[in-house]
Each structure stands twice: as structure tokens, then as C-alpha cells.
Amino acid sequence: MATLTCSCSATPLTADGLQYAMDTLNIDAPTLWAMVFVETHGCGYFASRRPQILFERHLFSKSTGGQYDATAPDVSNPVAGGYGLGGENQYTRLAQAYALDSTAALASASWGLGQILGQHATHVGYGSVEDMVTAMSASEDDQLKAVVGYIQWQNLERALQQQDWAAYARSYNGIDYAKNQYDTRLSGAYLNFKDPSKRPDLTVRTAQMLLYLLGYDPHGVDGSIGAHTLTALHNFQAARGQTLTTGIDDGVIAALTAALPDAVCLAFV
């Protein structure tokens, strides 16, 4: 059986990563932030620093010709669903499938901020699904790059450039997009983010993500400092005998980064 080992650095989204997306898609900041807030998970990683995933058993069944349906129905089933607990439990399911067919297993999970399916790896710019998983494990910038690749593959740049939210949502979210109001949510987010003061603060967002990875829950990674974020920060600072701060600056980011242990490894053996 093949083995995949990669370092889960889980580096937060950066200004360079956002600029790459805007330049590549030729869109403005309000459009990008609307897409990020509505179409992606708030954070690209679980607290373990492994990428956010959701394993799809029906895709694994289809890609392996149903040969494991009888012996491993929890991870190989022609009927979608059976997700069980979310979060880290999805890696337990992925590992079970990986032991049966490594490439099919990775291809049957959706990954990162944009929950891009592994089966689309070559379409969004990677040589293989293994290459995509390695990139997804490194940084949110890489995860956003995969979202950009998906948008290009689906020829959705013009819809974004023109803020044609219905056309964009129809392709990105499927024909039932209106049931979940994806188009109206995108439009509302875009109008909100046209005000620069309402856009996420990347320094705050970085702090929130680092706190989350360190076990101090800020109740969201949204780039907006609030009571929950400050409580998480103060708990972190108090635990280390540091001065409690009322804001987040480069010094706070440095302290949080220094407290983070070495990158974990994502490995299937």
C-alpha cells in the first residue's frame, strides 16, 4: 500500500495569498471576501492542524467499482451520507478507506477552506491528489489557490467579476443553490465588504487561528476582534504569565507563533 506523509504547517491566510487570488481572478477585495465568507469554512484546519475534510463514501464506492461495499459499508457505499461525527472523525473514516485504496480514498474527500474534492486535483492545478493534499496541509494560501483553480476550471471568473451571484452560485453550489440562499448571501456579503472597515483584519484573523490551534477557542476565525477572541487571548496570556493586552499586534502574533509546537505530520501507513 502507498504511504503519504506530509507536514501540516497550517499557516494562516496572508495578504500575499489574498492578492494572488484577486490578481489571478481579476476581482476586487469585496468580491473575494464575499466568496471566502460564504463559500469556504471559516478556517482551513482542524485544531490538530490537519486540513478540514469531509469523506464521501459514495465517491469512494464509485471510484473503486463497489468492490468494498459489502465488507466496508461505512466508507464504501453507493448511497451518499453516513458521515457520522464531523471534525477529526472524518480522518478515521479516511484512514479506513486509505487502507483499501489510497488514491481513491484521498480523491473521495473534500479538502480545506473551499472543500475542494480530491478527485478534482488535476483540474485545479495539481499533478496528483497526493500533491494536492500535501499543498492543502501546508497553508491556507495553498488552499485558497485550489479554490482559485476550481473557479478557473469552471470558468466562473466572469460571474465573479460582474457580481452575477446567481450564475456563480448555480455552478459552485449546484442547481439547488437558491434553497440555501447562496446568491443572496453572496450579494449581502459583497455589499457589506464594500466598506473597508468591515473587512476582516488579517492580523486578528491570524491570532484567532493560532489561538484555535493552541487550544484556546476564539469562537470563530473571522478577523473581527470581540469578547470571545479577547477571552481566548487573555487565557493564553495568563497561562504563560504574560501581560494581558486589549488588542492584537505583531508582538501578540509573535508570542502565539512561538508557543505553537512543531508542525505535525499527516501520515497514512
One-letter identity of residue 104: A
* Contact present, 9 and 266 (Cβ < 8 Å): no
Q: The cell 465573479 sits on which residue? A: 160
Q: Is the dihedral of CA 85, 86, 91, 96 positive or negative?
A: positive
Q: Domain residue spans in the chain?
A: 4-52+112-197, 202-263
Give CA–CA dist 151/157, Å, rounded.
Answer: 6
pLDDT of residue 269: 47
Which helix (DSSP H) or strand (DSSP E) does residue 24 occupy?
helix 15-25
Residue of 144, 140, 168 lying closest to 154 (CA atoms) = 168
How do residues 132-150 score in pLDDT, each as one tens digit? 999 999 999 999 999 999 9
One of 3.40.50, 1.10.101, 2.60.40, 1.10.490 is the CATH number of 202-263, namely 1.10.101
φ, ψ at 51 (rounded to 5°)? -60, 145
Which helix (DSSP H) or strand (DSSP E) does residue 27 occupy?
none
Which three-class secondary structure state does DSSP give residue 11? Answer: strand
Which DSSP symbol is given to 45? B
How do residues 48-102 score in pLDDT, each as one tens digit? 999 999 999 999 999 999 999 999 999 999 999 999 988 899 999 999 999 999 9
50: left (phi over 0), alpha (psi -120 to 50) or beta: beta
- Residue stretches of the chain with pLDDT short of 50: 1, 269
